[in-house]
Amino acid sequence: MDGTTLIIGAGGKTGTRVAARLAKQGPLRPVSRRTSPPFDWKDRRSWAPALQGATRAYVTFQPDLAIAGADADIAELARLGREAGLEQMVLLSGRGEPGAQRAEQALIESGLDWNVVRASWFAQNFSEGVFVDGIRAGLLALPAGPVPEPFIDADDIADVATAALTDPSLRNRIFEVTGPRALTFAEAVDIIAAATGRPVAYRQISPADFADGLTPYLPPDVIALLVSLFTEVLDGRNIATADGVQQALGHAPRDFADYAALVAATGVWETVP
């Protein structure tokens, strides 16, 4: 693979996985606020130096493409990329988010070769993200009711993104990726409990109680974003599964039960003394 691949969000769930897959396929530049050169979504002055000399890029946006102004940021990043000689950008996006769809369109209209990997909620949120402490404690409390979500394994996302970056025949396509079945949060927790062999319960709480619990740890804008994801995006609009993994890779996505069995074997969900 010729040229340098830029990974924006190199420390994230999918960025680390894409970087690992591309490590032996050519020059790689994983960037974040802590790298040299750094990349900071809040500081546009950092964008052009990070893009210099890159041929293609995998982009994850922080905190979420649903926020106001994300589309303008993606448009500007793509413009700077074209000026720096970038040829292709692969953007991680979210399902059912109007703001994310505006950002996707900004990339599509940028003049670059592009791909959008439009993903459902990550299975890894239960093992590498905000839900893991609740699983370890034996009780996950969230403002999510009986609306199913087809959780997608982050390894499947990384495989699709890697294929898009390395196979020219896949360029200029949207890959909407989900798991093979939709589960409620309570059903997902039951599967995790079975995989761990110990009791883990799920409890639905109000958005206000959820926000209050996060107040000591997160800024208000991030809390508002998380609440909106539970109360607006998780309203049934994304129940249907999609076949983006099959389209890009030629095989079905990993089932949540298989994900849970693999993670349980690592001990990540063991009770913390």
> 183, 190 in Cβ contact below 8 A?
no
Give residue 116's identity as a one-letter amino acid code: V
Determine, yes or no, domain membership for 143: no
Residue 56's domain comprises 4-122+152-179+240-254
In a domain, 184, yes or no: no
Within-domain flag for 204: no
Query: For residues 165 and 159, what is the distance between their CA atoms, to the nearest angstrom?
Result: 10
Mind listing the pLDDT tens digit for each residue in 39-61? 999 999 999 999 999 999 999 99
Give the pLDDT confidence score for residue 231 in this predicted structure: 87
Q: How many domains does the chain have?
A: 1
Residue 263 lies in a domain: no
| pLDDT on residue 69 | 95
Residue 213 resides in a domain:
no
**Strand order across the 113-119 sheet:** 28-31, 4-8, 54-59, 88-94, 113-119, 173-177
Q: Is residue 131 part of a domain?
A: no
Predicted local confidence at residue 222, as pLDDT: 84
Residue 162 sits in a domain whose CATH number is: 3.40.50.720
Q: Give pLDDT, residue 272.
A: 65
Q: Look at residue 256 and give its three-state secondary structure.
A: helix
Q: Write down the pLDDT at residue 273.
A: 57
Query: How do residues 256-267 score in pLDDT, each as one tens digit?
Result: 999 999 999 999
pLDDT of residue 175: 98
Residues of the chain where predicted confidence (pLDDT) is lower than 50: none
Asked if residue 269 is part of any domain, the answer here is no
